[in-house]
Amino acid sequence: MSTFSNLTARGGLFVRFLQLSQVSRTISSSSSMKSKQSLVGFIGLGNMGNHMARNLLKKGYPLVIYDISKDSVKKLQEDGAKVATTPAEVASQVNRLVTMLPASAHVQEVYTGNNGIFSSVQKGSLLIDSSTIDPSVSQEMAKLAQGKGATFIDAPVSGGVNAARDGLLTFMVGGSETAYNLAKDLLSSMGKNVVHCGTVGTGQAAKICNNMLLAISMIGTSEAMNLGIKLGLEPKLLAKILNMSSGRCWSSEVYNPCPGVLDGVPSSNDYKGGFGTALMAKDLGLAQNASTVTKSPSPLGSLAHQIYRIMTNSGYADKDFSSAFKFLQDKKLNS
């Protein structure tokens, strides 16, 4: 065959490749649009869940929602979400459902209780739990879901309320590769990073390790800020120095616990909103349980757990966990 014929044949193949690629993109786009047309369920509309659900609405996903707080559902309902009266009612209408709940007990109740998700879940449904709970509970829910012909994955989040609001969360996903791929587009509409960690429960494992480190660094940042201020340093200047030095961390740079250093964070709003101290104490309890089971020494994690438990019992339970700074300045503590 002549050189010209070879080139012509290759050119034809190239054109055919472009045509097939265009068809593939069209099918992919069509599937995505079809996916967005079907209802998605969302249960748990607290400080994090409310923002996450709103971002799904913004990205074009129609929602049916449930929360025990009527105030939590009101604004989302005004923005177009359907409201259900029970978790079972949500599950009966969807084949993809996200839950964002405070603790293991809440997850167990919402999934297995009277009028719970498993009482009406549809076969083939994908159940995504973004709560931070004991990995063994995630594994238990996955087994129960399998018995109902559904798939359960754990996908806890990191980033805080501002990241939830701005769609910049990190999702740590535990489940099969297939389930991860099915969930990825939905999770990407609420976050910036979606990481597959392994089998069910590994997402929770990653999250409790992250939160243990976060709690330790927040207490350390609070101690450093408090000491520097007592030594006569201006708070914003001290924070600037820390953040250009080796002490820099997320707690100092993005979520500084000292009031007035950063705008738009709980410390500058009387520690309202954000991630509650009681929830941090709960997560540290999960980390300590895991440390005991795996015989992994975590002395600083244990101390942080004790501090947040004391804070929880000292009037800080509903304040953001960065109120460790305020706790250190408490006159009772220093008397």
Which residues are marked as active site? 207
- The Cβ of residue 24 has, within 10 Å, a number of other Cβ atoms equal to 10
Backbone angles phi, psi at 14, to 5 degrees: -65, -45
Contact, 299 vs 286, CB < 8 A? no
Q: How open is the CA angle 230-233-234, to the nearest 5 degrees?
A: 115
Report strand pairing: 82-83 vs 96-99.
unpaired
Q: What is the CA radius of gyration of the chain?
A: 24
- 168, 267, 330 from 274: Cα distances, Å: 15, 9, 21
DSSP-derived secondary structure letter, 276 = B
* Distance from chain centroid for Cα 41: 16
The owner of tokens 């839950």 is 99
Contact, 290 vs 104, CB < 8 A? no
Could you give the maximum distance between any two Cα atoms of the chain, in Å? Answer: 95
